[in-house]
């Protein structure tokens, strides 16, 4: 499929990309909450099923990214590492409070907060 040719503009492509990712984000978020047992404990079979949902939504996300990549719509995410940024120097607004690196595990976030 030549998606780039089919799309009238990059703006439209971005909109399509965004609209596809919206329901995926909801599925991913709730599946992860279930997997982490935020909504209550799961038995082993339930954990397995939820894991399938999570893996599938991750595959779908990769497929969407690939689709837009191969069509020539460059995704910013692959080219822009998840790094903090600061204000542009010409802006007289002071410095932003960029995040520190690392230390995420120090917060004691547990996959299973009920444990």
Could you list the residues that contact another protein (CB under 8 A)? Answer: 10-11, 13-14, 17-22, 24-30, 32-33, 36, 38, 57, 61, 68, 73-77, 80, 82-88, 91, 93-100, 103-104, 107, 109, 111, 113
**Cβ contact 54:32 at 8 Å:** yes
Question: Which ranges in the chain belong to alpha helices (H)?
Answer: 3-6, 10-35, 44-70, 76-79
Residue pair 75/65 in contact (Cβ under 8 Å)? The answer is yes
Q: How far is the CB of 65 from another protein (least distance, A)?
A: 9
Q: How far is the CB of 49 from another protein (least distance, A)?
A: 16
Cβ-based nearer residue to another protein, 44 or 78: 78
Whole-number Å distance between alpha carbons of 24 and 48: 19
Residue with the two structure tokens 């990769």: 62
CB of 30 to another protein, least distance (A): 5
CB closer to another protein out of 50 and 57: 57
């Amino acid at each position: 499929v030549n998606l780039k040719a089919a799309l009238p503009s990059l703006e439209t492509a971005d909109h399509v990309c965004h609209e596809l990712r919206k329901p995926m984000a909801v599925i991913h978020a709730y599946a992860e909450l279930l997997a982490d047992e935020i909504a209550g404990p799961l038995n082993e079979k339930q954990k397995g099923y939820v894991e399938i949902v999570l893996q599938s939504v991750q595959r779908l996300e990769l497929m969407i990214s690939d689709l837009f990549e191969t069509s020539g719509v460059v995704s910013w995410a692959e080219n822009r590492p998840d790094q903090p940024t600061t204000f542009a120097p010409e802006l007289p607004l002071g410095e932003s409070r960029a995040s520190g690196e690392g230390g995420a595990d120090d917060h004691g976030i547990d996959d299973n907060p009920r444990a």
